[in-house]
Structure 1
Amino acid sequence: MLMLLISVNSKEQPGITLISAALLLSVVSMFKYLTHKADWAGISHWLLIIGTLITLGNIFVILQDVNMMTVQIIILIIIFSFYMLGYRWGIAYSLANLLPTLGFLLLQHETSYIIDFKPEKFDQSTIIICVFANFILTIFVIGHFYNAFIANIRQLKSVSDEQAQLNRKLELAMQKAEKSTHAKSEFLSTMSHEIRTPLNAVIGMTNLLLMNNPRGDQKENLDILKFSAGNLLSIVNDVLDFNKIESGKVAFENIRIDLPELLNNICGGFIIKAEEKGLLFKLDVDSRLKNKVFFGDPTRITQIIFNLVSNAIKFTQQGNVWVRATCVEDRHNTSTVLFSVKDTGIGIAQNNLEAIFEPFAQENITVTRQYGGTGLGLAIVKRLLELQGLQLNVNSKPGVGSEFSFQMEFDVSTEVIEPVEAPKPLPDANDLSYLQVLIAEDNIVNVMLMKKLLSKWKITPTIAENGALAVQKLQYGNFDIVLMDLQMPVMDGFEAAREIRKLVDPKKANTPIIALTASALFDIQEQVYESGMNNYVSKPFKPEDLFEKMQALVSIAS
């Protein structure tokens, strides 16, 4: 810039000299300002404004022409504007330079552009200096663009490689997590099977002894044994239910429900427990909920209410437990029901309300020692409600009691439930001696238990120690029903059921099969039905459940 000023000054060109001096002074001033304050955007704007004014001044006043140097300067302004200020300002400065220049060229082409100022001309030495300087600046800018482009490509490749490496690590982590989850599920299933199998014998034998009209002292001992085994089974079930919920394996049904009847069935068993503790238990169902057909998931509703009521009774030493179902909104085809479980128990401190919903946690260690339990009940309730987009509300005060409530919306059918006349009891309802029963079971204790249990119904079963023998015995014998264990040597229950369904004799191929399983795999029900079995009971099972299912399947088959 200094060389250009010296060159034009020696040629006595005042206009170009003034512009060159102003440009040099501006560049030096802006450089000093930039070193003092790093205002890159402000300096860029001033530099581009000055460049634009000089370019337009040269075109319209000083030179009154568009020459190669002017074009070079416009190109530099365009490049610098995008490079320093981005796309939006780049477009603005580009148009500010290009539009007036194109206007001047059109004006010059159509008419004679004449103003009262004699145009000045660059001599050859000045042109050489300007062209050289412009080329140097162009090379400098393009060099920076190239280096930035190469750096971006390298950085992009590096980021891409890092991303690919992270993706590989993430994939490995996901595979490990899936294997870990699968291993945990398998472990819980195996442990469940191993725990449920002896529990089946303990609870089954206890039930058999209770059915034999024991003496008062014996009955008391058997009740304690049954209660303890039931508590152990409840702990196992809580762990498995929570694992199922956390694994996202919960599917909600939408089937017909008689809500008052469901609540009566849930609470029926708790009345005795409450009376044993000297508590007043009351179930209050809104009359507007009666004689209606609701649609929902009775299993999950039962699980939620059961856990809340069980906790209310467990943590209440004296007083009352209320269960209420109130219709808060009743429309033509939907109803919103408020469920609440209230007690006069120990209550919960305000600062512990969040902790009670954490898995395997209770309010404090004293509560755990005094009342026992896994601390999973409320965690299961909360997660089951959250999976349906619902919220569990808690109102509690230590020493006064607690109230847990939630609202649930149901689809409602317009049809009315008609009272069904109860079927007349059959004579000697426990006599199933006419049934030929085949039991496929490899566990000796379970075989003994099943024999004793079926003898109460006057059944003498045939035993097959594995699935292959069960298929063989059914092929050459006549049986009304098969009770099939699932985990057996040689051939498991699933394969045995499939082989039975392939038998040539249609009557034998369609023999009703009930699965007896201590497994807790999430998809066990689906596997049972897919293999061709008709129903299943989970060990330990209630004798009346097995009795009802056997009776129902045999009556259908006959």
Structure 2
Amino acid sequence: MREELGFFNFSINKVLSKEQSFLDQARIRLLYYGLFLVFVTSGTLLASVYFQGQLLLAYTSGFLMFSVAVLFKMLTYRPNWRVVSHVLLIIGTLINVSIVYISLQNVNIVTIQVVIIVIVFGYYMLGQKWGLIYSLLNTVPILLFLVMEYYSNYVICIKPNKIDQATMVISLFANFILLIFIHSHFYNAFIKNFRQLKTSIKEQAALNLKLEKAIDKAEKSTHAKSEFLSTMSHEIRTPLNAVIGMSNLLMMGSPKPEQKENLEILKFSANNLLAIVNDVLDFDKIESGKLVFENVRFNLVELMNNICGGHILKAHEKGLQFELTIDDSLKNKVFFGDPTRITQVVFNLVSNAVKFTSQGSVWVKVTCLEDRHNKVTVKFLIKDTGIGIKEANMSSIFEPFTQESLATTREYEGTGLGLAIVKRLLELQGLCIKVTSTIAEGSEFSFNMELPVSTAVITENITKQVEETQENYLTSLKVLVAEDNMVNVMLMKKLLSKWKIIPTIAENGERAVEFMQYGNFDIILMDLQMPVMNGFDAANEIRKMADPKKANVPIIALTASAMIDIKDKIHEAGMNGYVSKPFRPNELFERIRSLIALT
């Protein structure tokens, strides 16, 4: 930044600044030294013509000398090189025309030199447009004068001045020096500018190379992160599959009331851990823009009861009142949407409400705002009497890995991803979340969602009928289970035995292919990560079999992986679909039933 200049400043170093381009600095230097040279020359000419009695030329030289001094002070006090250049060129043009038409009434080598200086100076200082304008302003009057002189039409009443040989020499000498200085100065400036440009190009090439390496490193880091998340997902979900699966099996076995309560707590804790894992993995998918929303049938009432079931127990443990209210008009409807993402949003909001409320109540309300027969606008509202949120922190709570304060993080724990995921999931569907909160009184989160509705009606009889169907529908099926984890093998045996199925177990992909070669199966449940041969390769080998029946057998991938492109890889391997571990028994049953119905 240039320092403030005083009136008595004469230093060019204070006029120049680092913010100016190299070319602009060269222009300022040219003005600074050029004005000094013109001042000295005009002073010398003034003395020469004055003592010769050539008053018109003396007045002209004096005016030029005074104007140059003023412009020099403008440049060193309030520097604006463009304005100074324009004023100097206008003065030069006027003086040149006045010398030709009044003082000398003649065109000689000096006037030609001045025209050339004005043309060169105009182009170098102000660019092509103004250079052309000042060139025409100087050349046209000179040419016009030559035409009038040629036809002897130019006559005025003022007697022209005559300049002697000494004055002519001084003028020519000064003009030559000025022309040489202008060309030399700008030639040097352009050479330096080209060198600087060449250096900048080399530096830019080096930066581009570094940038390419950084991008490559970032891409490798992203790939490594995805691989790490996939591996960690598999390692965490695999034991969770056993915990949640066994809990579901025990719940299906009509446990005693106290046992059922224990199982509910166990199941809630496992689902809570699964929700944390899903938060981290799904946030990665959201940030990468590869999250895909499903559009499947679901029962909203059943979904809300499942979401709030575990939270009710947690709330009661803390001595809180928990109230779930669902509009009666929503109870007998079949909705289409993504129940998994709705679960994530509501689960996180309810979990926060219970977590940050030490006394009082938590309300979850699901109301019908508008029913248009085939579409219903549903309002989800979660309210609590918890610690509340400061107005200043309203926006930051939706940032990833952020809680309202460090004290909040230490006291209540958590990943800080819940509300960030809630906001992003809603935004991806074109929805927004509303928040109202008062410190020490509580908070209220709400959002509206439009859901398509089926004309089918849910009844208890239909639900019971589905449960009874599960007991008999799969009895005659021959199922091949490819699974290497012994705990999951035991879980699958117990679960399938509930449906009166005795499965064949293959401990790896290679064994699964061998079983298919020598036996017949109606469906294959294929784990993806197995020793010897993984599930993808095994599915490819099965699809290549000569027997069309064996080659087209339905294959369901059972995967604990969370890779973003897992669906694409499963499809490329020729599998018919997948069920994520941990899975609900009904989810697996429905997937098997739908595939068997197609064969």
Identify the TM-score tier after normalising by the shorter chain: 0.7 to 0.9
- Equivalent in the alignment of 2:481: 439
- Equivalent in the alignment of 1:172: 213
Question: Are 2:507 and 1:465 aligned?
Answer: yes
- Equivalent in the alignment of 1:485: 527
Distance, in Å, in 1 between the alignment partners of 2:429 and 2:246 is 40
Question: Are 2:118 and 1:77 aligned?
Answer: yes
Question: Are 2:309 and 1:269 aligned?
Answer: no
Unmatched 5+ stretches in structure 1? none
After superposition, where does 1:130-149 map in structure 2 within 5 Å?
130-149=171-190
Distance, in Å, in 2 between the alignment partners of 1:462 and 1:443 is 15
- Equivalent in the alignment of 1:282: 325
Distance, in Å, in 2 between the alignment partners of 1:439 and 1:495 is 15
> Residues 329-376 of structure 1: CA distance to partner in whole angstroms, max 9, x if unpaired?
99x99x895734131331423244334323344345665566554332
Q: What is the aligned counterpart of 2:388 among 348, 373, 376? A: 348
Cα distance change on mapping 1:496 and 1:362 into 2, 3 Å: same
- Equivalent in the alignment of 1:101: 142
After superposition, where does 1:128-207 map in structure 2 within 5 Å?
128-207=169-248
Question: Are 2:153 and 1:112 aligned?
Answer: yes
> Residues 290-341 of structure 1: CA distance to partner in whole angstroms, max 9, x if unpaired?
98998x76654443234324434555554452434565899x99x8957341
Distance, in Å, in 2 between the alignment partners of 1:464 and 1:190 is 22
**Do the aligned partners of 1:436 and 1:481 also contact (CA within 8 Å) in 2?**
yes
Please report how far the alpha carbon of residue 194 of structure 1 lies from its aligned counterpart in structure 2 after TM superposition: 0.9
- Equivalent in the alignment of 1:233: 274
Please report how far the alpha carbon of residue 204 of structure 1 lies from its aligned counterpart in structure 2 after TM superposition: 2.0
Cα distance change on mapping 1:471 and 1:58 into 2, 3 Å: same
Distance, in Å, in 1 between the alignment partners of 2:77 and 2:350 is 75
**Do the aligned partners of 1:240 and 1:520 also contact (CA within 8 Å) in 2?**
yes
- Equivalent in the alignment of 1:556: 598
Q: Which moved more, 1:212-221 or 1:397-406?
A: 212-221
> Residues 182-235 of structure 1: CA distance to partner in whole angstroms, max 9, x if unpaired?
212211111111111122222222333333334444444433332322222222
Unmatched 5+ stretches in structure 2? 1-40
Cα distance change on mapping 1:53 and 1:480 into 2, 3 Å: same
Distance, in Å, in 2 between the alignment partners of 1:103 and 1:379 is 78
Cα distance change on mapping 1:343 and 1:149 into 2, 3 Å: same
> Residues 493-547 of structure 1: CA distance to partner in whole angstroms, max 9, x if unpaired?
1111111111111111110111011111111122112211112111111122112
Question: Are 2:549 and 1:538 aligned?
Answer: no
Distance, in Å, in 1 between the alignment partners of 2:335 and 2:133 is 70
Distance, in Å, in 2 between the alignment partners of 1:86 and 1:190 is 64
Distance, in Å, in 1 between the alignment partners of 2:123 and 2:494 is 92
- Equivalent in the alignment of 1:494: 536
Question: Are 2:551 and 1:509 aligned?
Answer: yes
**Do the aligned partners of 1:280 and 1:321 also contact (CA within 8 Å) in 2?**
yes
Cα distance change on mapping 1:246 and 1:435 into 2, 3 Å: same
Distance, in Å, in 2 between the alignment partners of 1:251 and 1:483 is 24
After superposition, where does 1:286-435 map in structure 2 within 5 Å?
299-315=340-356, 318-324=360-366, 327=369, 337=377, 339-350=379-390, 351-363=392-404, 373-388=414-429, 390-406=431-447, 417-419=454-456, 429-431=470-472, 432-435=474-477
Q: What is the aligned counterpart of 1:451 among 493, 496, 513? A: 493
**Do the aligned partners of 1:356 and 1:362 also contact (CA within 8 Å) in 2?**
yes
> Residues 435-479 of structure 1: CA distance to partner in whole angstroms, max 9, x if unpaired?
111111122222222122212211111121221221121122110
Distance, in Å, in 1 between the alignment partners of 2:52 and 2:210 is 72
Cα distance change on mapping 1:32 and 1:417 into 2, 3 Å: closer
Please report how far the alpha carbon of residue 487 of structure 1 lies from its aligned counterpart in structure 2 after TM superposition: 0.7
Please report how far the alpha carbon of residue 271 of structure 1 lies from its aligned counterpart in structure 2 after TM superposition: 5.2
DSSP 3-state at the match of 1:349: coil
Cα distance change on mapping 1:98 and 1:201 into 2, 3 Å: same
Please report how far the alpha carbon of residue 100 of structure 1 lies from its aligned counterpart in structure 2 after TM superposition: 2.7
Q: Which amino acid in structure 2 is aligned with residue 512 of structure 1? A: P
Cα distance change on mapping 1:46 and 1:134 into 2, 3 Å: same
Question: Are 2:556 and 1:519 aligned?
Answer: no
Q: Which amino acid in structure 1 is aligned with residue 115 of structure 2? A: I
Cα distance change on mapping 1:323 and 1:75 into 2, 3 Å: farther
Please report how far the alpha carbon of residue 409 of structure 1 lies from its aligned counterpart in structure 2 after TM superposition: 7.0
**Do the aligned partners of 2:93 and 2:138 also contact (CA within 8 Å) in 1?**
yes
Give the TM-score normalised by the residue count of structure 1. Answer: 0.86
Cα distance change on mapping 1:174 and 1:283 into 2, 3 Å: same
Distance, in Å, in 2 between the alignment partners of 1:103 and 1:300 is 85
**Do the aligned partners of 1:347 and 1:396 also contact (CA within 8 Å) in 2?**
no
Cα distance change on mapping 1:454 and 1:130 into 2, 3 Å: same
Cα distance change on mapping 1:527 and 1:401 into 2, 3 Å: same
**Do the aligned partners of 2:300 and 2:335 also contact (CA within 8 Å) in 1?**
no
**Do the aligned partners of 1:348 and 1:363 also contact (CA within 8 Å) in 2?**
no
Distance, in Å, in 2 between the alignment partners of 1:252 and 1:429 is 28
CA RMSD of aligned residues (A): 3.5
Give the TM-score normalised by the residue count of structure 2. Answer: 0.80
Q: Which amino acid in structure 2 is aligned with residue 466 of structure 1? A: N
**Do the aligned partners of 1:501 and 1:532 also contact (CA within 8 Å) in 2?**
yes
Q: Which amino acid in structure 2 is aligned with residue 445 of structure 1? A: V
Cα distance change on mapping 1:107 and 1:383 into 2, 3 Å: farther
DSSP 3-state at the match of 1:279: strand
Q: Which amino acid in structure 1 is aligned with residue 544 of structure 2? A: K
After superposition, where does 1:207-226 map in structure 2 within 5 Å?
207-226=248-267
Distance, in Å, in 2 between the alignment partners of 1:98 and 1:251 is 73
Q: Which moved more, 1:50-59 or 1:267-276?
A: 267-276
Please report how far the alpha carbon of residue 389 of structure 1 lies from its aligned counterpart in structure 2 after TM superposition: 5.5
Distance, in Å, in 1 between the alignment partners of 2:396 and 2:248 is 38
**Do the aligned partners of 1:61 and 1:119 also contact (CA within 8 Å) in 2?**
yes
- Equivalent in the alignment of 2:93: 52
**Do the aligned partners of 2:265 and 2:310 also contact (CA within 8 Å) in 1?**
no
Q: Which moved more, 1:142-151 or 1:26-35?
A: 26-35
DSSP 3-state at the match of 1:119: coil
Please report how far the alpha carbon of residue 403 of structure 1 lies from its aligned counterpart in structure 2 after TM superposition: 1.7
**Do the aligned partners of 1:81 and 1:89 also contact (CA within 8 Å) in 2?**
yes
Q: Which amino acid in structure 2 is aligned with residue 58 of structure 1? A: I
Cα distance change on mapping 1:122 and 1:407 into 2, 3 Å: farther
